[in-house]
A and B are shown apart, each in its own frame.
Chain A
Amino acid sequence: MVFSSLLVLVRFLPCVLLIYYIVPGCLKNFWKNSVLFLFSLVFYAWGEPVYIWLMFFSTVVDYVNGGLAGYFVERGRRGVARIFVVLSVVINLSLLAVFKYAGRYALPIGISFYTFQSMSYTIDVYMGRAQAEKNPVNFGTYISLFPQLIAGPIVRFRDIAVQLRERRSNLLQIRYGVLRFCCGLGKKVLLANQAGVIFQTVTDTAAGELTMLMAWLGILAFMLQIYFDFSGYSDMAIGLMAMFGFMIPENFNYPYESKSITEFWRRWHISLGSWFKEYVYVPLGGSRRGAGHTYVNIFIVWFLTGLWHGATVNFTLWGLYFCFFLIMEKTWLLKLLKRLPVWLSHVYALIVIYFGWLLFAWEDISGHRAYVKALAGIGAGGVVSDESLYLLVSNALLLLVMLVGATSLPARIAGALTKKDGMGTAILESVYVLAVLLLSVAYLVNGTYNPFLYFRF
């Protein structure tokens, strides 16, 4: 299922929320967790029922491995515990290898996210950062929690271990969840999908007719689409989790406001970045073993980050592209940027990010040559055409809205408007919720274009 669909908005959510709130919270949330577990399974199985077994398998494997690792750690036999950690990592990575990278099967939705979550569990138990979860329902709930199951944020077990048992829903948290969910829904349906239409138009244009203007618009549209798509999904996930009483870490922090690539990766897909940092970079020695080692470690992390997105060359290139700039920044570029005017840093970061998306946007890199030519204005399509002017004129306002929307300005304005806890704020927030919901429904009733980009990963 996709959050931003009529199915979820007018069927799935009303059902799960209603039953979840009715069921009692006794026995350390056993009943509430059971409801979430069951609905999560339905949510996951809806699209491809077969793959439910895959998730089951992954869940059982990590429940057993984590439990055994915990058992031996408690008894001081870390050597034996390590076997189960290795087993967990090997099995999860094999699942990824077979189902994601071998290219023989249709990609099971969310596999890159839930395998990473369950690996983090066994590792955390082994490292003593978390207690093994003995209750299979709680563990199953953690792995399959539908809000973040298929596109993150990647939640580490220790972030919500206590919440699984002890959380209480309260109305203020639900209010936060509702506002956050609507924010994400709007980003996805009203903005990302529209940016997607522009990008699709450019992608569908034959190489011979692709003009310079169109090529630049295409990458810009993709840059906006992927941000609103993915951060909108994370907003919806965080909002839904709040409605169920969970607090989970943020995944985005206005990445396009960054002043360097180092900063960008602290603001973009934060949960993936910190996962690699915690479970790959630091165990490899991080930056503690001298400059040479540090660069090797950075290289490994970024190679894997690229690979995580897919087996095709373009994703690996994309990871290494960022690796290059990160090492440049670490060695000398950041120092230089600090001495330059701030706006120049912004321009630098945006340009690097912009061309990064050029690598990312198409899995088949054979078309890149022609596209780069078009970007440079020496393509077969020339500089401008009626088609490209039409694309610009009819989307100018939308693009402007999205460019402003990608900054923190709207949030700051909203914050200022709703500073006081009065009737005015309540009405303003209600109008916002109503407007986003109704407009999104209108877009969904008519719209046919509603993909989630990060479902591919």
Chain B
Amino acid sequence: MGKKILPVFVFFLVIFGLAGAGIVSQEKTYSSTEKRELQTRPKPKIKTIKKGKFQKKYERYLSDQFPARDSWVQVQTGVLRLLGKKESNGVYFGKDQYLLERYDETDFDEKQMKKNIDALKGFVQRAGKQTQVRIMMVPTKTWMMRDYLPAFAPTYDEQIFYDALYETFAGNEEVLIPVEKELALQSGDGSPQTYYRTDHHWTTAGALIGYEAYLKSLSETDATERAAKKFPDVRVCDDFFGTTYAKVHQAGRADEIFIYEPKSDLTVVYNMGERTTDSLYETDALEGADPYSVFTGGNQGVIEISGGRENKKTLLLIKDSFANCMVPFLAEDYEKLIVVDLRQLNVGCDVLLEMFSPTDVFILYNSAQFVQDIEFMIKSAGQ
């Protein structure tokens, strides 16, 4: 008899054990790996119970606050991979340990794409009257590295986006920097790693290719030499697991983060005087949950950088997170560099032009993030 009921014992041990662990474990309000607020224990009220709201929240709370949540996710993804699955939570397990986000038509919504590109064109026409405008749309890692996808894995054809972009700017192509072509040229053997394995961003070396392309588009004759001098060779992190990793908790290999140390004495003012410093790097972030924030401390509303070069030139950089690692390259080329993240700011582009009277405007986005920024249209329109 004793032996026979061993499975009963195991069953009760597991369900009571998990129940107990859930009750004693500490509540977390934010998941740094998933980058989202977690549901905390809801308070039961007659009204919310009647409507079923409490019940929904309670179930989300159980899942969000499940003890050792990340480890469970890791186990599940591991099993799915053993079963031959090539993706989990919208992430492909690519060749050479690359984790590649899956993008579908819905991620590049045709209507939103057209709206944003048209809005961009409108802004460029207005800004182009007084300034020199350049646009760089950095392709997604998945598109640039589509050779690394698992066999037959479907992915969005980003060429559709670039075709739409070039078509809209027909006759004014010089504002578009063909970074997608430059990156493709430098993707063979012996080229530096241009995208992280575990994060969706490009590496600092990748951003350097973008920087060189930017210089070339301005017809700087010494573009290649100037870029070469800025090669990022200071390794600040060798165990970087980025946002893509956080979706699956599976990675064969950690990433390294390299930075370039600007030679000039810079003054960096965050968010209109919120904080002033002399560095573009936040080394504390390397120890935190999001090491990519080492670049300018993550996304900031406005960063004003001065002390690069006395050439009376002001560059207004309108950007998303892909630009963060390129800022150090650009900072030394301008007397003033204004870095603006529209998503963190409640001001329109035309106001920015008035406020900072830049001589140059540089718009740098990742293609997918650009298409998905539903506010871009409004904010680029001005007021």
Question: Which residues of A are at the interface with B, using a C-beta cutoff of 8 A?
Answer: 5-7, 9-11, 13-14, 17-18, 46-50, 171-172, 174-175, 178-179, 181-182, 386-387, 389-390, 393-398, 401, 421-423, 425-427, 429-430, 432-434, 437-439, 441-447
Contact = CB atoms under 8 A, between A and B. Distances in A.
Contacts of B151: 389-390, 393
Main SS class of interface, B: helix
B351 interface: no
Interface string B40-59: 00000000011010010011
A50 B50 CA distance: 7
B19 interface: yes
Main SS class of interface, A: helix
Given A49-B50, A182-B11, A427-B6, 10 more contacts: A10-B19, A47-B55, A172-B4, A181-B11, A389-B152, A394-B85, A401-B83, A423-B3, A426-B6, A432-B7
Contacts of B8: 171, 174-175, 178
Given A390-B152, A393-B151, A396-B84, A14 B16 contact: yes
A9 B6 contact: no
A380 B77 CA distance: 35
7 contacts: A6-B66, A47-B55, A49-B49, A390-B154, A396-B84, A433-B10, A437-B15
B150 interface: yes
A442 B55 CA distance: 21
A179 B7 contact: yes
Contacts of A179: 7
Contacts of B59: 5-7
A53 B6 CA distance: 41
B325 to A, nearest CB: 31
Contact of A433 (B1, B11, B16, B50): B11
Interface in B14-45: 14-16, 18-19, 22
Contacts of A445: 63, 66, 69, 72-73, 76
B72 A175 contact: no
Contacts of A444: 63
Contact of B153 (A390, A398, A429, A441): A390
Contacts of A182: 11
Nearest to A398: B83
Contacts of A396: 84
Contacts of B3: 421-423, 425-426
A438 B14 contact: yes
Contacts of A171: 1, 4-5, 8
A29 to B, nearest CB: 21
Contacts of A395: 84-85
Contacts of A387: 152, 154
A439 B75 CA distance: 8
Nearest to B6: A426
A182 B14 CA distance: 12
Interface in B183-222: none
Q: List the 3 closest A-B pairs by CB distance, nearest first.
A: A390-B152, A445-B72, A442-B76
Interface in B225-267: none
Given A9-B15, A434-B10, A393 B52 contact: no
Nearest to A171: B5
